[in-house]
Structure 1
Amino acid sequence: MNIEQLKDSIVSGAYNSVLQNIYSDNINTVKARYLSCIEGYQQQFQKGDNISVFSAPGRTEVGGNHTDHQHGRVIAGAVDLDIIAVVNKTNANVIRVFSEGFGLTEVVLDNFNVVENEKETSAALIRGIVSRLKERGYPVSGFDAYTMSDVLCGSGLSSSAAFEVLIGTVLNDLYCNSELKAIEIAQIAQYAENVYFGKPSGLMDQTASAVGGFVSIDFACIKKPIINPITFDLKKHGYQLVIVNTGANHSDLTDDYASIPHEMKDIASCFDKEHLNEVETTVFYQNIPKLRGQVSDRAILRAIHFFEDTNRVTRQADALIHQDIDTFLKEVNASGQSSYDYLQNVYSPHNPTEQSIALALCLTKQFLKGQGACRVHGGGFAGTIQVYLPISVTDDYIKHMKLVFGENCCYRINIRKQGGVKVI
């Protein structure tokens, strides 16, 4: 459809049921956001005769902290904060994406190699995804897109994975006959982030964004991870999920993030393995005396975290499946303590006086007084914590945290069923 037809159809309510199936917000709020994105497209690109609208959600890590890159187990969930894109398919050999608040990214599709000066940019992600699709034989060409995101950068909800999955979902629809499964889009997105963007991330973020809902994921076979959807409604059990953004600076943390998989792989290599999931837990513990001197003590502690947290995921998944909220919350707290003590990603060793996550966890535990649960959220070192609060005290908690971390520090989060999707 063209741009005017799209606007008319949204205003008339033709897509109300579709939008209500995705979002928990008031339908008029959702429609206003979509119309604003359309207006942004018109201002930037003027016309469009092959218009579609896409969405890709952020994600929250529920269980398993830094276990995915060692092919362990995780639980994750797609959240009701997303990136939406108004897209027009073109015949030009260029992809143009205007991201509201960030500006225009253009990628001419004449070079599919890694471009060093593009690393850590959106252009690198787009080029990497296109390169992988070209390798698979898909005739990828251009499009124009205007995007709006409420997955704020630095929120710990993985705006980067949402963007990658969005681009993959768009290209899958426009040029791949929608043949790619959600997990394939996730794998292509991770490849682009690892190789072209230059961040050594695991596969959890992209999988959660692409698949949607609560999912437990076993990455033992990385090419065919085992994905099991879990039906669980926190609110029915009296709890609200809140993400607290402490506002700490994420810049210059790449080395901190990279040190975790590197040190875990150092341990694995001592057993002639590539990843820790290939090492028997009992064999690892038996050999700790021999490991000292070969690797750092921190590497040993981080490996201990991996073995404990990847096994903990199984208990968390079972608790959710059996609707056992108390056991689930107990394991969330245990995971958080393991990340603090063993994984050591609560603050950066390069800036030890900046401890906003540690402060947020301390204040949260004092507020909860044994109720609910909290833990570091995502990559760590700076950024966000995850909190499971009794609904009855959520408003008071948010007021409490705003006094310390600012007016917009707290996000009430719900799990959405859909992953990356063509909406219209």
Structure 2
Amino acid sequence: MTADRRDTIADTFVADDPAAVAEGFRTVYGTEPAGVWAAPGRVNLIGEHTDYNDGFVMPFALPHATLAAVAPRGDGLLRLHSASGEVPGDIVELRVDEVAPGRRDGWADYPAGVVWALRDAGHTVGGADLHFVSDVPHGAGLSSSAALEVVTALALHDLYELGLEGWELARLCQRAENVYVGAPTGIMDQTASACCTAGHALFLDTRDLARRQVPFDLAAHGMQLLVVDTRVQHAHSDGEYGKRRAGCEAGAAALGVRALRDVPHEGLDAALDRIEDAEVRPLVRHIVTENHRVERVIELLSAGEVRAIGPVLVEGHASLRDDFRISCAELDLVVESSLAAGALGARMTGGGFGGSAIVLVDADTADAVTKAVRESFAGAGFTAPRVFPATPAAGARRRSSPSGV
């Protein structure tokens, strides 16, 4: 996708225009949709790669979302169309009773995988026509895939009256991505898209999915959180993500624990001494210290010490860069240049190897920090980054019904 196209998608905010998405459905399929649903992308404030280690995370939903206009079908046919992405246009047609892991239909694997996961779990889901439009930047580490999965799940849930809760849909979406798509992701992205609320960050214990909405109103404290999309593409289903997950599992096995979440922070040094594999030790150190950082951020926000989370973000980036080894030159440059320009804190966010960083700033320095980051990229010969403010938004929801489309 070109830089210009990605700017257009990210600036359109289709989440605010379900009527236009419904009209797109009519153009594609020649019939009326039963409704329009939305599911947002997310930014993770702190807690990276801890979710598949049964750990703690703290994401919040973005205003950027994927919308789906959907209508049920009685003939068992699943038709999928995207107006966004790298190759918008053609309708992908599948039969719901033939959808199974092993197919390769490109972007359509994500919604098709959700249909498979719902049916495989015993839920009665028939055919449907779906038309998707998204302004979640693709490949930016902002969970565009989870937004696509969750909006599909919620729409089918409502149309076929499945009676599930948001966290249950998130679990099924994770299974779709793990088994059908083949990406070994944790549960954070789907839960954030399904369960976040406006004006809050979501403290999530990924072991039992216990959740707490934590007020996160930076404007009230004279601050702002910037997202910097480096435009460096990443893919969760590539080998590097899987290697990190396998390394964490090896660390847990070496320590005799169910997951690295069970290694106490105060006992970290002793635990590391018990791990013989030099490649595994830093992975374990990151997970244990990152869980502790999530707890520290919760304490600081609860005490109203919002500015004090800045250094914790910086610590998190150093850990991801040095211990987990998933940063890149562009992400490091965002952190270095923004801090030099007066930012309160910064770190990469998402799966790594590209994608986005977040930068915490005083509101009156946002423009200066943005300028400094862009100038540093130009000086390094990198593609110009896209920078935008992130405000905690609502999670997945129905945007319109037949009378409203």
Shorter-chain TM-score range: 0.7 to 0.9
Change (3 A) 1:283 1:128: same
Instruction: Give the equivalent residue in structure 1 for 2:77.
Output: 94
From 378, 382, 398, give the equivalent of 2:350.
378
Question: Are residue 364 (structure 1) and residue 338 (structure 2) matched?
Answer: yes
Cα offsets for 1:261-317 (capped at 9, x unmatched): 11111111113334212344555532433422xx2x231011011111101111111
Instruction: Give the equivalent residue in structure 2 for 1:302.
Output: 283
Check conservation: 2:346, 2:357, Cα contact below 8 A: yes
CA apart distance, 1:35:
3.5
Change (3 A) 1:318 1:252: closer
Question: Are residue 151 (structure 1) and residue 128 (structure 2) matched?
Answer: no
Distance 2:16 2:55 in 1: 41
Change (3 A) 1:89 1:367: same
SS in 2 for 1:220: coil
CA apart distance, 1:205:
0.6
CA apart distance, 1:388:
1.1
CA apart distance, 1:365:
1.9
Distance 1:252 1:232 in 2: 28
SS in 2 for 1:381: coil
Unaligned runs of 5+ in 1: 1-25, 348-354
How many residues matched? 379
Instruction: Give the equivalent residue in structure 1 for 2:306.
Output: 325
CA apart distance, 1:140:
0.5
Check conservation: 1:182, 1:210, Cα contact below 8 A: yes
Unaligned runs of 5+ in 2: 1-10, 401-405
Check conservation: 2:15, 2:38, Cα contact below 8 A: no
Scaled by the length of structure 1, the TM-score of the pair is 0.83
SS in 2 for 1:423: strand
Question: Are residue 70 (structure 1) and residue 53 (structure 2) matched?
Answer: yes
CA apart distance, 1:341:
2.1
Distance 1:99 1:272 in 2: 46
- Supply the AA of the counterpart residue of 1:361: V
Cα offsets for 1:223-270 (capped at 9, x unmatched): xx1111111201111111111111223259711111111111111111
1:32-71 to structure 2, matched below 5 A, reads 33-48=17-32, 50-71=33-54
- Supply the AA of the counterpart residue of 2:331: I
- Supply the AA of the counterpart residue of 1:111: E
Cα offsets for 1:130-151 (capped at 9, x unmatched): 2332234322112212221110
Instruction: Give the equivalent residue in structure 1 for 2:6.
Output: none
SS in 1 for 2:186: coil
CA apart distance, 1:421:
0.7
Cα offsets for 1:35-86 (capped at 9, x unmatched): 33233222211122x5201100001101111111100111110111111122
- Supply the AA of the counterpart residue of 1:99: S
From 194, 199, 209, give the equivalent of 1:210.
194
From 82, 102, 114, give the equivalent of 1:129.
114
SS in 2 for 1:83: strand
Q: Which moved more, 1:208-217 or 1:359-368?
A: 359-368
Q: Percent identity?
A: 26
Instruction: Give the equivalent residue in structure 2 for 1:351.
Output: none
Distance 2:147 2:20 in 1: 20
CA apart distance, 1:31:
8.9
Question: Are residue 269 (structure 1) and residue 253 (structure 2) matched?
Answer: yes
Distance 1:132 1:29 in 2: 29
Check conservation: 1:253, 1:381, Cα contact below 8 A: no
Distance 1:110 1:80 in 2: 35
Question: Are residue 109 (structure 1) and residue 90 (structure 2) matched?
Answer: no
1:102-251 to structure 2, matched below 5 A, reads 102-103=88-89, 104-118=91-105, 121-177=106-162, 179-213=163-197, 214-221=201-208, 225-250=209-234
CA apart distance, 1:33:
3.4
Check conservation: 2:21, 2:36, Cα contact below 8 A: no
Check conservation: 2:46, 2:59, Cα contact below 8 A: yes
Q: Which moved more, 1:55-64 or 1:312-321?
A: 312-321
Q: Which moved more, 1:107-116 or 1:138-147?
A: 107-116
CA apart distance, 1:122:
3.3
CA apart distance, 1:407:
5.8
Distance 2:29 2:210 in 1: 42
Q: Which moved more, 1:207-216 or 1:265-274?
A: 265-274
SS in 1 for 2:364: helix
- Supply the AA of the counterpart residue of 2:61: A
